[in-house]
């Protein structure tokens, strides 16, 4: 397929993105970056972790997305007393047949909202690992495939909030993106006040897209062209997180561990999804830059020196992006 033909197909199949954004805009005020990242997650078939203080519409955004898609949806409120069986299901004994039969849990839905995921203990968080990575659940000695598409959209409050647990590094790496949700601007907050300061329930999104449309778009995302120079740029960025002293001596003592090859793969994939959302059949270096923070934010471990100096991962990534040569 030529670039021109792919460009035409992208234009013909990407219309649902604008429709979903418009429908979500009826519920959300601002948060365009958050909505863009949710769309990227759909296109890449990857899980997303949303982090921010309470009250920033993280849960509302995920509900609005599920409402605009013709897909099954389940919401988990993670609490310290939650058990793995509450998510995955369990084996139930049938006395008439004198045997055990599976009772599948609510995780067998297309979109899963794991609300405040860091309020559950490690055993519950770990129960999601197989589901998130392998798209399957094992009960007793039988493995059950999860429906397609299957996305976990998790929210968490900052770790220093009371009653939270640190997410395991293995689980963090399963998330395609970690999106930091910030406060609205003054104008946006005034609009939030006008819309939401009422006892009436907020507007609910209506279905404007289907999983079939998303699946068709994914096939085109995988064909989007990445120039060799852009591919090398992606690898250079990842390698800079592992050997930061080669680009900036001041970064050497700030990074304890860099991104894995999974970060390389996900940065290229999300850059393709970003290009598709923009209606292009090729990836630009700006696509890579736009996605770098969300893809790498949770894949870099900072040193104790960085924490002592009150330096966060985003600041380190800013320095890396400013030092690595752009093609």
CATH of the domain at 246: 1.10.8.80
Residues 60 and 152 in one domain: yes
In a domain, 65, yes or no: yes
In a domain, 203, yes or no: no
Containing structural domain, residue 99? 16-195
- Strands 111-115, 73-77: pairing kind: parallel
Residue 117 DSSP one-character state:
G
Indicate the burial class of 154 (C-beta count within 10 angstroms; 0-12, 13-18, 19 or more). Answer: buried
Paired with 90 in beta bridges are 103
In a domain, 201, yes or no: no
Give dist(CA 114, CA 155) in Å, integer.
6
Residues 123 and 252 in one domain: no
Number of domains in the chain: 2
Paired with 47 in beta bridges are 175
When pLDDT is cut at 50, 70 and 90, the band that residue 8 belongs to is: confident
- List, in order, residues 6 or more apart from 31 with CB less than 8 Å away: 57, 61, 181, 184
Residue 32 has a CB neighbour count (10 Å cut-off) of 11
Strands (E), 200-302: 255-257, 301-302
pTM for this model (two decimals): 0.87
Give the mean model confidence (pLDDT) for residues 169-175.
80
Give dist(CA 300, CA 159) in Å, integer.
16
Angstrom CA distances, 148 to 67, 153, 168, 208, stand at 17, 15, 26, 18
Q: What is the pLDDT of residue 195?
A: 78
Residues 109 and 247 in one domain: no
Return the higher-pLDDT residue of 174 and 40: 40
When pLDDT is cut at 50, 70 and 90, the band that residue 56 belongs to is: confident
CB 230 within 8 A of CB 285: yes
Residues 162 and 57 in one domain: yes
Residues 158 and 302 in one domain: no
When pLDDT is cut at 50, 70 and 90, the band that residue 256 belongs to is: confident
With 70 as the cut, is the pLDDT of residue 201 above it?
Answer: no
Give the mean model confidence (pLDDT) for residues 253-273.
92
Residues 140 and 69 in one domain: yes
């Amino acid at each position: 397929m030529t670039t021109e033909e792919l460009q035409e197909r992208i234009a013909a199949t990407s219309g649902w993105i604008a429709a979903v954004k418009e429908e979500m805009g009826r519920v959300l005020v601002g948060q365009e970056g958050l909505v863009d990242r949710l769309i990227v997650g759909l296109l890449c078939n990857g899980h997303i972790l949303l982090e921010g203080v309470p009250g920033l519409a993280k849960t509302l955004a995920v509900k609005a997305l599920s409402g605009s898609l013709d897909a099954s949806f389940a919401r988990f409120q993670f609490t310290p007393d939650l058990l793995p069986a509450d998510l995955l299901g369990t084996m139930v004994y049938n006395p008439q047949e004198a045997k055990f039969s599976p009772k599948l849990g609510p995780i067998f839905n297309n979109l899963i909202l794991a609300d405040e995921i860091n309020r559950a203990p490690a055993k519950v968080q770990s129960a999601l690992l197989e589901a998130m990575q392998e798209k399957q659940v094992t009960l007793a000695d039988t493995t059950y495939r999860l429906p397609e598409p299957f996305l976990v959209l998790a929210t968490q409050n900052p770790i220093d909030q009371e009653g939270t647990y640190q997410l395991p590094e293995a689980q963090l790496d399963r998330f395609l993106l970690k999106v930091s949700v910030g406060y609205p601007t003054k104008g946006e907050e005034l609009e939030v006040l006008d819309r939401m300061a009422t006892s009436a329930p907020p507007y609910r999104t209506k279905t404007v897209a289907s999983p079939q449309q998303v699946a068709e778009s994914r096939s085109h995302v995988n064909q989007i062209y990445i120039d060799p120079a852009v591919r090398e740029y992606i690898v250079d960025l990842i390698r800079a997180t592992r050997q930061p002293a080669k680009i900036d001596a001041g970064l050497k003592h700030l990074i304890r561990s860099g991104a894995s090859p999974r970060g390389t793969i996900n940065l290229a994939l999300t850059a393709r999804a970003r290009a598709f959302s923009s209606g292009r059949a090729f990836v630009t270096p700006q696509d890579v830059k736009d996605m770098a923070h969300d893809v790498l934010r949770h894949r870099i471990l900072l040193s104790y020196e960085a924490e002592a100096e009150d330096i966060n991962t985003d600041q380190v990534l800013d320095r890396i992006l400013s030092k690595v040569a752009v093609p």
